[in-house]
Amino acid sequence: MNSHKHNISFSPESHAAVRLAEGAILSEHLTVENSPVLFGCRTAVCGTCLIEVLSEENGLLACPGEDEKELLEIIAPENPRARLACQIALAADIRIRYLGKA
């Protein structure tokens, strides 16, 4: 088991950074208490969890899968930093901004 940890920080800094284990699925750990990111379907369908990855250590996040890519082309076509938080497994320190609907 890999016990390496990574930080997720938020912009604006409405919440303290969250520290999670390598490979953690964001939608299983981010809550209304510890983050500004909201989730709906958790399956790359609704777009509620739309975020922008402002910085990422070493480009280690896995690329979006087909379902995520398809939805991002519809809801954030001009933003190359857009991702669906529900589809991200943590593999780097990241700084994110929530773009979905509150």
Q: Which residues bind ligand FES (CB under 6 A)?
A: 39-42, 44-49, 84, 86
Measured from the CB atom, is 15 or 42 closer to ligand FES? Answer: 42
Q: Are strands 50-56 and 94-98 parallel, antiparallel or unpaired?
A: antiparallel
Min separation Cβ 3 and ligand FES, Å: 27
In the complex, minimum distance from the CB of residue 71 to ligand FES, in angstroms, rounded to a whole number: 6
User: Do β-strands 82-84 and 50-56 pair in parallel, antiparallel, or remain unpaired?
Assistant: antiparallel
Cβ proximity of 22 and 91 under 8 Å? yes
Nearest approach in angstroms of CB 60 to ligand FES is 21
